[in-house]
Structure 1
Amino acid sequence: MRTYPIPFNEEARLRAVYSVPGLGEENSAVFDAICEATRKLLDCPIAHISVVEDDTQWYKSVVGIELDRMPKDNSFCVHTIMSGEPMVVPDLSTDPRFEAHPMVAEGGPGARFYAGVPLILSSGQRFGSLCGLDLVPHEAPSDQQMAVLVDLGQAVVAALEGVPPTPVDQKEDETAKSTFIVLVGHELRTPLTILFGSLQLLEATAESGANKPLMGSARKSAKHLIDLVETIITYSDASTGELRLNEHVCSLEDLLGDIADLSLPGADGVLKSVSVADDSLSVPVYIDPDQVRLALNALLLNAVNHGGQNITVGSRIDGSGNIELVITDDGKLDANVELAALYEPFVVGGDIINRDTRGGLGLGLPLTRKLVELHGGDFEVIAADDHTSAVIRLPAWRVKAAQAG
């Protein structure tokens, strides 16, 4: 799997990058001078100005080493652009995020120290970083050094945006924001739908003994909605379409138990229960639990509304040590369904057996994919003859980071 996260607003970010007229691969003395100043400031042999595009990273200026365009798997700066704050790693080989990184691990160049600041355009979008690198560990730079590095990064942006930027198609950005709002709106409406359906069934079955699990599901759906609204308000930036993570160590066992402790009515009105797989892991992980819970809820609700009768949620470790969170139901996808299309907004994917498309299947999966990629992970739907599984795959370092903390 990939070794880097993807910003939630990647499409809008890339449009902003491509609109900057001074951002060609040709160099000028001012950028070399800024890199030289960075190298001296941080006492590093290497400094560069990186530009992070769709699949690759290239360099506006490099001093101290020869670097060509490289895949993002080999980049540290893809991590730097995930926030507006500097990223400092005194020893990359001891950081769980980077110890297996191709630029750090045995057989690579042996990078050890990294200090960089994101380069932020006037639009608020981040296109790359100004950073220093060394092949030996360093002490963390002082606050004063980092303040100067931030100023140097602002000088890079000022030099690039000195020429009036090429007008960006504002309709595209508005479309991106609208898509973001619709995707989140889908998740706002779905818990309310479940809440309403649960209460309807509660009223109809008040004497049947089913009221307790239904009341619990109604309460959890309402709590999910409240938490989601708070998360959006706290961690999203409407001006850029960005969503930021609030990461900390949490219990995978508690997370899955919370997801599974539901009894929900499907689109056909039949009550379905969710169980935790017997072989699930019980390990701590370093994630944003609210966002991962949101992704799992989207998958679970798809399974409840469109899947078979038996639904399980579980976790496991793959052959590379990555964490897999899996929601499985015994529904069967039609052979004509294009699985790749399921990850795109507003696409249902074809005819579906055992899966009623009323209510969607067009938005929950794309939102899940974006939230998983924000964590540096992968997401896929796997269709077998007798079941369908939705798999969230998170990088192995998120277990190591939790254990180290």
Structure 2
Amino acid sequence: MNLENNLFTDTEEKRIKALQSYNILDSLTEQDYDDITLMASIICDVPIALVSFVDKDRQWFKSNLGLETKSTPRSDSFCSHAIEAINEPFIITDSRTDERFKDNPLVVGDPNIVFYAGIPIVTEDGLGLGTVCIIDNKPRELTQKQLVALKMLSNQAMNLLQLRKVNNDLNIAQLALEIQNKKLEVYNKDLEVLIDKNLSDRVKEIAAQNITLATMNKELEAFNYISSHDLQEPLRKIQFFSSIIIDKELHSLSDKGQNYLLRIGKSADRMSMLIKDLLAYSRTTTTEKTFEKILLSKLIQDIKYDLQEEIVEKNAIITLENDLEIKTITFQFRQLLHNILSNSLKFSSTSAAPRIIFQCVLDNGNTFRKPFLDRSKSYYYLKITDNGIGFDNQYKDKIFELFQRLGSQELQMGTGIGLAIVKKIVENHNGFIEAESHENIGTTLHIYIPEVA
């Protein structure tokens, strides 16, 4: 018995929860439900027809044709019995002779129920929520067609409930969407304000950077002018007067004086070379990048002409193994080749004539198997090899830094800027440079320049 009561309680809890999920109780009258009661009354020719829902302690009428009240206590309800027989119509032919109802207040008092027929309104889960019921004040019987019609009206009531639930869910979802949209609008406005502020701050920052850059460019131009004119001019005078003294007065000086004078001349020459190299380095940063096509052989021929005296003096052999038309910033690339060739001549071996070999190919980045190259691009690969004094290979990266000179003190004839200029020019072409060397064997430079359309 306890088990049956527990099962009943569980089922009843599910039924009440299902009824509440439709949000139908105490709702306003609706024409669709009133049409159902009107049809039931006409089909069965009765004065009272109801669409009734059984709550926990009451039965409530969504539509009540022929009845004034909106609800009655569940303890007096005929419909409470009807929802338990969910698969069958619940019919009381004459309540006055039925032991269950003869003393019911709704039988002995208003509305004086004698005949009752209720068709349960049942969910898909088999839970009876209420009934479509008809009432009369006299005994009667229903035909099979009338029962079928009442069943159809009960199903229609359930369909209306289901539609109501779907609409309620849609309304809730729409309300949630509207709330979310309002939140999103507020967020977007806040985001727009934030973007506008950040953009404004960034514009101001860029403007300030442009002003700073313009100032730096002016200072660099001033430096270039000072370097090319104000610094070079005193040096030219030192060199000029030193050369006059050497030509005309050297014999009248002591050996120590002659040594000092010669050292002054060499220092002035070195200072002049340093200024020229610094100017060349600054130009690689500030000049406009205009790419042009030119034969590599043409560039090397021009450089050989510039360095003719050194080449002849050292019996240097300069070879281009394969010519190629390359697209570069021409005057910068000429400077690059000039510095490399000049370096090879300066640091040549005393035991063998300088031999400098240029090799150049154009190929896909994947061919060279270098992790820093883009495999989807093509590169000019320039390999320059000499047989000079070389250097310890552990310094292969350091040689491209400004003012770095390697080797014996007596062989340090450069300014330490030449290869820094070379690297800067390679970077201006979005390229890469590597070096490898061994002391007293020679040096090889590997240059990769991306092909420009």
TM over 0.5: no
Higher relative contact order (CA 8 A, sep 6+): 1
- TM-score by length of structure 1 reads 0.39
- TM-score by length of structure 2 reads 0.35
Q: Which has the larger radius of gyration?
A: 2
